[in-house]
Amino acid sequence: MAGLHKSEIENPVLAWIDTRLPVITLLQKEYGVFPTPKNFNYWWNFGAIAMVILGIMIATGIFLAMNYTPQKDMAFDSVERIMRDVNFGWLLRYAHANGASFFFIAVYIHMFRGLYYGSYKTPRELLWMIGVVLLLLMMATAFMGYVLPWGQMSYWGATVITNLFSAIPLVGESVVTWLWGGFSVDNPTLNRFFALHYLLPFVILAVVFLHVAALHVTGSNNPLGIDVKSPQDTLPFHPYYTVKDSIGLCVFFLLYVIVICFFPNMFGDPDNYIPANPLATPAEIVPEWYFLPFYAILRSIPNKLGGVVMMFGAIAVLFVLPWLDTSKVRSARFRPIYRLVFWLLPVSCVLLGMVGAHRPEEPWLTIGRLATLYYFAHFLVILPMLGRFERPLPLPESISQPVLRGGGPLPSHATAQTMEKP
Amino acid sequence: MRPAPLALLAGLLLGVASPAPAQEEKLAHQDWSFSGVFGTFDRAAAQRGLQVYREVCSNCHSLNLAYYRNLAGIGLNDEQIKAIAAGVQVPTLDDTGQPTERPGLPQDRFKAPFANEKAARAALNGALPPDLSDIVKARADGPDYVYALLTGYGDPPAGMKLGEGMYYNKAFPGHQIAMPPPLQDGQVSYADGTKATIEQEAHDVVTFLTYIANPEMEQRKRIGVKMVLFLLVLTGLTYAVKRKVWADVH
């Protein structure tokens, strides 16, 4: 029939829908039979995990918003009312607050996986850049969400972070006044942060859609970092990776539930259970753990504008990473030097995180400066140079080849089981 | 490369749990009925703690986030709760719209000792006693800290000059606190015959305040145990399904 989509769905009701709006065909194509490299390891779980956590954050967030009051004299008490008097409100709130931490854990692991296996390289540059945009959006959302309970750390964290913009030459002070909607962090700030904190997750959702759409054009990278050569190299996404992702999700949920139910405040700062008081500055103003490395970079530079520039620069280098890394080989498995050097990056990030949690005194100041130096050198010096003189190991011919050894016919079960699992 | 995702996750969790700013001195760790995965509130201790709060702390400290009805969670029955609530007068309006007072009800919040911050400061030499509803969550290692504070009074070390109206306390940051030592041996007399030492009183009131800060704790842990067991089974089943689905690959 003219103008109607040719659907292969058998169920008459679904077929009726699918011929007019082929969403079922689309789902089948993108999540059902979608050809996925057969050799993913469990590090490939974290994209799916991050997506599920985003869903949980939006779901819990909507119910929290139904009970929250974005007014400076009522915000703290309304959160306490959620904790004490709303049915399962404590579960909503602890799941949401800790969900932010687990979202960052999942996304940071997802990113380091991309860094190790070269997932940012041609043809996936745009996919990676969309991912960096997602990270920025997440950071903005998390920051504004942390302000909403209007505790001491909410208030003073918001003051410190918004004040960073005052480092902009000439217009800095005006920009900060404009951000605040007044001359200090106050009710207008809380109102707009709440509005944006409700808006941005849906922007994130839309950008996640673009991230997945871009992924489904290029197809996934894989632990060998080589292109898919034949259908033999792939498996349909369902059921192979739906079930494999489910295992990672279960284990991740286990940790998430343990934190929510037994250590619900382990990521939080005790000061945030004290209502915001503009007249009393807390002894230490510390951001949430997922911002600590960036906070450490900020404080490593003995100049306000310089510190702010470096902090944003730490994300900017990720944005241009596909052009900084000159090696054509994706996976670190075949890059004998990079596979060692790579580990210095997570080490420097963890060090920066520890530095961010301590006062800027010795020895932390020096450690912070060295780690900052390394972080930037890793991207701006080591990666561009390494691609030029590193001699990569020979790449396998195809994803099936390391299993097939010599490219024989389809493997029998007996031989296949002795081989390395993908 | 075959790194173990679990080990890394665990490392991440532990790593971020530790970098809290260092404390001046390590708090002595007390034995609490509510600590641990299966910990619950010792009802008798919490009820004795309520007595300490009502007879001592409540002279200066509010408990603004708690309702009298919350006392059901430490084992008080309806009659006891009504009796405690009726012991205070709360402001209301009479039928002609004139301000008046009525006896408290279970649905009322704990009555605060002072009408507002200014009144508190005026009565207490300029100091403001913090609200105690969240005090255990609002301090690092809350229960141990509050216990250490309540039992931490003593003579200042030689050479330390205290401000006027200030007291030496080894647990308080800066060691100078405006609160006079609130607890003495025998400050309260317990109906159940427990000996009211300072340590016992501090232990009991911390148990009570921990309940007030976390009234959901017992339900939260019960649900947690069930969810963990459920997820362990689900993980096992999922793994079995995965093995079956993947059996013909490789």
Q: Cα–Cα distance between B113 and B107 in angstroms, integer?
A: 18
Q: How far is B12 from chain A (nearest CA, A)?
A: 8
With beta carbons under 8 A apart, name residues in chain A contacting B215: 84
Q: Which two tokens stand for residue B155?
A: 């003579």
Q: Which is higher by pLDDT, A415 or A363?
A: A363
- B238 and A84: CB-CB below 8 Å? no
- pLDDT value for A89: 97
pLDDT 10s digits, A249-282: 999 999 999 999 999 999 999 999 999 999 999 9
pLDDT 10s digits, B98-157: 999 999 999 999 999 999 999 999 999 889 999 999 999 999 999 999 999 999 999 998
Judge whether residue A7 has pLDDT over 90.
no
With beta carbons under 8 A apart, name residues in chain B contacting A116: 1
- B234 and A257: CB-CB below 8 Å? no
Task: Give mean pLDDT, residues A403-420.
Answer: 44
Q: Cα–Cα distance between A323 and A125 in angstroms, integer?
A: 9
Q: Cα–Cα distance between A327 and A383 in angstroms, integer?
A: 8
B residues 74-113 near A, CB within 8 Å?
A: none
Q: Which stretches in chain B have pLDDT values below 70?
A: 1-25, 250
**Active centre residues of A (catalytic):** 216, 220, 244-245, 288
B residues 14-33 near A, CB within 8 Å?
A: 15-17, 19-22
With beta carbons under 8 A apart, name residues in chain A contacting B216: 83-84, 90
pLDDT band with cut points at 50, 70 and 90 for residue A421: very low
Q: How far is B71 from chain A (nearest CA, A)?
A: 13
With beta carbons under 8 A apart, name residues in chain A contacting B245: 239-240, 243
With beta carbons under 8 A apart, name residues in chain B contacting A422: 250
- pLDDT value for B16: 44
Q: What is the predicted ipTM?
A: 0.88
Nearest to B235 among A250, A267, A421 (CB): A250
Which run of H or of E encompasses B100? strand B99-103
B129 touches chain A (CB under 8 A): no
With beta carbons under 8 A apart, name residues in chain B contacting A262: 37, 221, 224
- B19 and A353: CB-CB below 8 Å? yes
Which run of H or of E encompasses A236? strand A234-236
Identify the residue whose tokens are 């745009």: A126
State whether residue B89 is helix, strand or coil. Answer: strand
A residues 99-158 near B, CB within 8 Å?
A: 101, 105, 109, 116
Instruction: Using alpha carbons, list the distances in angstroms from residue A245 to A25, A40, A236, B93.
Output: 22, 10, 13, 61
Within chain B, how many helices (H) and strands (E) appear? Answer: 7, 4
- pLDDT value for B250: 66
CB A315 within 8 A of CB A136: yes
Q: Cα–Cα distance between B39 and B225 in angstroms, integer?
A: 12
Nearest to A270 among B137, B173, B234 (CB): B137
Q: How far is B102 from chain A (nearest CA, A)?
A: 24
- pLDDT value for A177: 95
Task: Give mean pLDDT, residues A9-19.
Answer: 93
Q: How far is B242 from chain A (nearest CA, A)?
A: 6
Chain B residue with Cα closest to A354? B19
Mean pLDDT estimate for chain A: 92
Q: How far is B117 from chain A (nearest CA, A)?
A: 13
- pLDDT value for A1: 52
- pLDDT value for B26: 78
B3 touches chain A (CB under 8 A): yes
pLDDT 10s digits, A41-86: 999 999 999 999 999 999 999 999 999 999 999 999 999 999 999 9
- pLDDT value for B8: 43
A residues 371-390 near B, CB within 8 Å?
A: none
- B1 and A248: CB-CB below 8 Å? no
Neighbours of A328 (CB within 10 A): 11
Q: In A68-88, which ranges are continuous DSSP H helix?
A: 75-84
- A403 and B250: CB-CB below 8 Å? yes
B231 touches chain A (CB under 8 A): yes
Q: How far is A226 from chain B (nearest CA, A)?
A: 16
A359 touches chain B (CB under 8 A): yes
- pLDDT value for B125: 85
With beta carbons under 8 A apart, name residues in chain A contacting B227: 257, 261
With beta carbons under 8 A apart, name residues in chain B contacting A105: 9, 12-13
Q: How far is B195 from chain A (nearest CA, A)?
A: 32
Which run of H or of E encompasses A35? strand A35-37
With beta carbons under 8 A apart, name residues in chain A contacting B173: 283
- A289 and B19: CB-CB below 8 Å? yes
Q: How far is A402 from chain B (nearest CA, A)?
A: 11
Nearest to A243 among B1, B19, B241 (CB): B241
Residue A338 CB partners (closer than 8 Å, separation 6+)? A327, A332, A386, A390
CB A39 within 8 A of CB A222: yes
With beta carbons under 8 A apart, name residues in chain A contacting B106: none
Identify the residue whose tokens are 């390590």: B26
A residues 163-222 near B, CB within 8 Å?
A: none
Q: In A40-88, which ranges are continuous DSSP H helix?
A: 46-67, 75-84
The structure's pTM equals 0.91
* Burial class of residue B229 in the structure, from the number of CB atoms within 10 Å of its CB (0-12 exposed, 13-18 middle, 19+ buried): exposed
- A254 and B246: CB-CB below 8 Å? no
- pLDDT value for A404: 47
B2 touches chain A (CB under 8 A): yes
pLDDT band with cut points at 50, 70 and 90 for residue A402: low
Residues of chain A with pLDDT > 90, as a percent, come to 90
Nearest to B235 among A38, A254, A411 (CB): A254
CB A120 within 8 A of CB A321: yes
